[in-house]
Structure 1
Amino acid sequence: MSLINLSSNFLWQELPYIIKVSDFIMTIILCIVGGLIIGFCQKFLGLYPKEMEEILHEYKVTKTIDYKPLPKYIICAFLPLIFGGSIGPEAGLFGMVAMLSTFLSVKIKNSNPELKEEFIEASTSAVLTAIFQVPIFSLFSYDKNSIYKVQPIFKKILNYFTYSCTVLSAYFIIKFLNNLIHKESFIFKLASNHISNKDLLLFIPILILSIIIGLSFNYMGHIIECICKKTKINLNPFMAAIIGGFILAFLGAYFPLTLFSGEHALREVINNVGELGIPYLLLIAFLKMLATKISINFRWVGGQIFPIIFTSFCIAFALSGILKVDPTYVVAITATGVITVVLRKPIIAIVLIFLFLPMTYWIFAIVSSFSINFIINKFIYKTSLNL
């Protein structure tokens, strides 16, 4: 992660001054060159990295994760992040750590079948905690017939204790390292305001809007994926990466906030909400969603959690301005709701947003996340499956 930051800083901050080129031209050059390099890597090294869902699926089907392509995986995961892809680092790092954990479980002598699961569970929990700087447990969900499920109760308790120690260790270590180098966390506290009766009456409408926004994010991805399949771009990852670079160059040159994960830009946007204005916030939220789905489908693969957080905050503050409602209250509902719809993991959504909110707003995030999770599972995804 430090190497990504150093490389990105050199390419996007120092290099333009060295070669005396404007940010506009530099954005176009870097995105197009990045597309070419990523395209060559996709062609000659392989279709890496994989999204977290793909890694989870591979593990569920094969009961293992192939660790042999790890060097290729690292290179392919690194490039989209430094060339401005609208993605987060979690997919690449998640895959790397899962591969390393599998490698260790294979190399350790006298290992039992449970060890691989336990290594992956603990290590992926640690890396997700380090990335998001909040204690997050693994996204892995085991099959009902898994050995892990039939373990004695004391063994389960021991595993949960181990995972808790791992997650908390990762959390405090990353805090210590950030303090050591005086690195500012992307997490910040939103202001606590008085919640009026009008705010409470708007809870349901804001909840519905959150579902619509989250579904729009998903459907935008489906549309772009269908376009790639219809045009057969998905069959040629080399060309896909180059085309993706050209699209990102155009978007990034005119709207720089569409590039990168949005992690570092989030605080700046929130501090300048008044200057940016409601129309621009809504526009940048839409373009950020578009850039993220283009990145993923055009082989600039990475995670989408950071872009979703950025997008949902922009929309929340825009809605707050339109409805004249407390912005922190809208963030508690909208940001948690959108992340729940996209990831379909309410606990993860709540944990990610909690540290932005004063404690008095936590209840709205909890109700929002679990209500939306129930609605989409009961009435939306279940209905679409039946159709």
Structure 2
Amino acid sequence: MKKQNLRILLSGFCLSSLIALVAFFFLMAEKFGSHLLWESWGHSVPFPNLYKGLLLLIGGLFVFALKKKWGSLPRTSHELMEELKEQQTVNYRHTWRSLVLALLILVLGAGVGPEAPLLGAVIAYSIWQADKLRYLEANREQLKQLSLKDRLVRFFHPSQYLLTYTASQKGTDKKRLFFIVNGLIIFVLLMRMTEQPSFITKLGDSQWQMAELVLILPLMLYGFLFGRVYHWLMKKIKGSLKQLPLPLIGKIMIGAVAIFGVAVFAPSLLFSGQHAMHSVVEMGLELPVLALLGLSLLKLIFLEICLETGWTGGDIFPITFASILQGFAFAQFLPGYDPLFVVLVVSLSLAVTLLQKEWLAGIFISLFFPIKLWPIALLLIFILRWIGTKVKVGEAHAEN
């Protein structure tokens, strides 16, 4: 029995390492493609704006062609989690298509993040891994009779030799946490070995004092109210846009025009924001308040346009970038207080409200700040969670 469990663990270790490799190569391809198109070629052509226009025209046509052929892709982690809850499994047969289309959208400069399609792919391939392990466990006696070559074929074949989940088969699912942790470790090691920059950029140090605590309530309420008003406004705008039945090619091209406009007039807002996160402190200290607020709002609108026009991706990084810009704007309003304290309260409150995921958004935002500010972040998460619960209950009563 111990030998059998060890064999399953080793097999899972190998498969989860492969999934980590897929995630690693996806991010490397996104980094290389973005640098090639926007830095190497973009800075060497004689007419850069014409180049950007042609790039987005051709790229937009490719996005349209792939979406028309493959359907509504890339699939996000939210969609896959909903499918997993309903069916206890997900369809992972064409996950590679989702990754290809997500990669194309990202390298073309869309204002969305890689986290949603990438996490969606990791979820799908984790289900594939579990189905593969179930097959290996259920057919272990038969596999012993095969040659090493045939066993390897069954082990690595991407679309065959799988056993899908049923309620009576729970053995390998208990080990999934181990495989997920292993995949994360392999991914981090690959990033370190190739000296890739971290996704998280520390914004500096803080020397906050008890006097800053008086700012928590007003700044938090600003972030919460701004997020609520923004959600309401976007809901109205989306409702109006849906009354205009645009074909898919029209939507894609509107998104391409929006990316072109940002590339020409505000190139720091291209992509998800993770590429410019290292310079956000310089922007926060050098740009005037109105410029910071304007860039933050433009980043949020750019994100919404991309999502609504078929340039699908994640929203965590763009919202984080926009929220931190607003935090630095308020830090300039309050020069007598610790700047990072102000940035934390504003950005965390705004990001939590926009993403509507208290723990995910709160923890992610906190990682950009020094540890001495984490107790404040934890306090904010609890307060915002309580406020969010009360608001949801009030909305439910209003609807009834």
Range of TM-score over shorter length: 0.7 to 0.9
Counterpart Cα distance in 1 of 2:269 and 2:349: 22
Q: Confirm whether residue 297 of structure 1 aligns to residue 281 of structure 2.
A: no
Q: Is the 8 A contact 1:87 1:307 kept in 2?
A: yes
Q: Match of 2:33, as an amino acid?
A: S
Q: Is the 8 A contact 2:78 2:120 kept in 1?
A: no
Q: Which residue of 2 aligns with 1:59?
A: 84
Q: Match of 1:185, as an amino acid?
A: S
How far did residue 220 of structure 1 move? Answer: 4.7
Distance 1:147 1:320, change over 3 A: farther
Q: Is the 8 A contact 1:46 1:72 kept in 2?
A: no
Counterpart Cα distance in 2 of 1:382 and 1:32: 46
Counterpart Cα distance in 1 of 2:201 and 2:343: 13
Q: Which runs of 5+ in 1 are unaligned?
A: 113-145
Q: Confirm whether residue 75 of structure 1 aligns to residue 100 of structure 2.
A: yes
Q: Which residue of 2 aligns with 1:261?
A: 272
SS of residue in 2 equivalent to 1:16: coil
How far did residue 368 of structure 1 move? Answer: 0.9
SS of residue in 2 equivalent to 1:202: helix
1:31-83 deviation digits (Å, cap 9, x = unpaired): 33322221221112211013332222222223321122223222222111010
SS of residue in 2 equivalent to 1:65: coil
CA RMSD of aligned residues (A): 2.8
Q: Is the 8 A contact 2:30 2:103 kept in 1?
A: yes
Q: Match of 1:61, as an amino acid?
A: E
Counterpart Cα distance in 2 of 1:168 and 1:319: 39
Q: Confirm whether residue 215 of structure 1 aligns to residue 228 of structure 2.
A: yes
TM alignment of 1:222-237, pairs within 5 A? 222-233=235-246, 236-237=247-248
Q: Is the 8 A contact 1:240 1:298 kept in 2?
A: yes
Q: Confirm whether residue 279 of structure 1 aligns to residue 305 of structure 2.
A: no
How far did residue 294 of structure 1 move? Answer: 0.7
SS of residue in 2 equivalent to 1:48: coil
SS of residue in 2 equivalent to 1:222: helix
1:241-278 deviation digits (Å, cap 9, x = unpaired): 11111122123311112210100101212124232221
Distance 1:340 1:271, change over 3 A: same
How far did residue 99 of structure 1 move? Answer: 2.2
Q: TM-score, normalised by structure 1?
A: 0.80
Q: Which residue of 1 aligns with 2:216?
A: 203
SS of residue in 1 equivalent to 2:71: coil
Q: Match of 1:357, as an amino acid?
A: F
Counterpart Cα distance in 2 of 1:106 and 1:318: 50
Q: Is the 8 A contact 2:316 2:361 kept in 1?
A: no
Please say which structure displays the higher CA radius of gyration: 2
1:93-150 deviation digits (Å, cap 9, x = unpaired): 12222222233333444589xxxxxxxxxxxxxxxxxxxxxxxxxxxxxxxxx979xx
1:224-254 deviation digits (Å, cap 9, x = unpaired): 4323311123xx3332111111122123311
Please, which of 378, 382, 385 is the counterpart of residue 373 of structure 1? Answer: 385
Q: Which residue of 1 aligns with 2:320?
A: 309
Percent identity over the alignment is 25
1:163-184 deviation digits (Å, cap 9, x = unpaired): 3x55654554444333333322
Distance 1:272 1:239, change over 3 A: closer
How far did residue 208 of structure 1 move? Answer: 0.3
Counterpart Cα distance in 2 of 1:227 and 1:33: 29
Q: Confirm whether residue 87 of structure 1 aligns to residue 98 of structure 2.
A: no
Q: Confirm whether residue 29 of structure 1 aligns to residue 54 of structure 2.
A: yes
TM alignment of 1:4-19, pairs within 5 A? 4-19=30-45
How many positions carry a matched residue from both structures? 343
